[in-house]
Amino acid sequence: MLRIRRFEEEGMRQFKGDKIPGWFHSSVGQEAAVVGACLALRDDDAMTGTHRSHGHPIGKGANLEELMAELMGKAGGICKGRGGSMHVADNSVGIISESGIVGGGIPLATGCAFSAKVRGVDQVTLCFFGDGAVNQGTFHESLNMASLWKLPVIYYCENNGYAMTTSVGQSHGQPDIGLRAAGYGMPGVTVDGQSVGAVYEVASEAVTRARAGEGPTLIVANTYRFDEHDFGSVSPGEPYRSVEEVEAQKRDRDPILLYRTVLLDDGINEKRLRAIENEADQAVKQAVKFALASPMPRPETLPDFMFNSPPAGLHSFVARLERN
């Protein structure tokens, strides 16, 4: 959780310094919801993410140096600079996709789970999405199919209360998202997304159920994003949430502070906690150092990852474009 928090904080600084192009969607405040779910998985289990997906790769075990380089569009990145902030894929840790399209990962996760069933393996797929994606057609179609075929997939809603600036209460006829699972004949579980222990327990039960061939589960983790929808954005018109609301969440519901208290109660001393904090700080500093030193992709490599079998003459065509 600390690695995610420090990575996001440093990433925002690099974005502000024009080192990270495009957009930056911070997951600060949602670390427990991410980590608790990812810890329930095996290394060979699959995962799909969202546009707010720097925390998801870290939770699944992605390399911090390569992830920061990817955000900067560098050749040393996980996707060689092709994916950027919202489209990371890392087969080494089971991340088949992240997507800037709301709900875009839901059918892909369903297909991945179907693949596991066809191949006869006990691989599970964890599908992250936000509360805004619940109203997309892909959500309904995928959950219905997964239930019918008992696919080994966990549909995991990070309900931070707002789809950009629209609250759940304003956009959901049934704001209790977990109740929607009943319409598809699968368990629906709602959990405190700020408690990493509670999330881990619920996710572990869903993974065990899926691995045993008992089908999908819908998990709704009630969490909160401390930052804006994207870094630097300005909400149109009146603020959609009050300063008091945000500050109360930061004060009372910070998942890292909550778990710090749990660790202290369990006998972990302050010295050990400070060592963990320092370890996370150093890992992120090294990631930034690596990313800044990594070169930009060369223009002639543009088509290298576009085709499984590149058409003959493609590279020479790109080279001619460069010369002209």
Of the candidates 32, 209, 35, the one whose C-alpha atom is nearest the C-alpha of residue 124 is 209
Q: What is the pLDDT along the chain (324 residues), one digit of tens a residue?
A: 999 999 999 999 999 999 999 889 999 999 999 999 999 999 999 999 999 989 999 999 999 999 999 999 999 999 999 999 999 999 899 999 899 999 999 999 999 999 999 999 999 999 999 999 999 999 999 999 999 999 999 999 999 999 988 999 999 999 999 999 999 999 999 999 999 999 999 999 999 999 999 999 999 999 999 998 887 555 555 688 999 999 999 999 999 999 999 999 999 999 999 999 999 999 999 999 999 999 999 888 877 877 777 667 666 666 676 666
Residue carrying structure tokens 């002639």:
300
**Would you say residue 302 lies in a domain?**
no
Classified as helix, coil or strand, 128 is strand
CATH number, domain of 129, equals 3.40.50.970
Q: Could you tell me the residue range of the domain that residue 21 belongs to?
A: 2-293
| Counted domains in the chain | 1
CA distances from 101 to 73, 125, 131 (A): 20, 19, 13
**Would you say residue 251 lies in a domain?**
yes
The DSSP-derived string for 184-246 is GTS-EEEEETT-HHHHHHHHHHHHHHHHTT---EEEEEE---SS-SSTT---SSS-SS-HHHH
Joined tokens for residue 276: 């963990």
**The whole model's pTM is what?**
0.92
What is the 8-class DSSP label of residue 22? S
**Would you say residue 315 lies in a domain?**
no
**Would you say residue 187 lies in a domain?**
yes
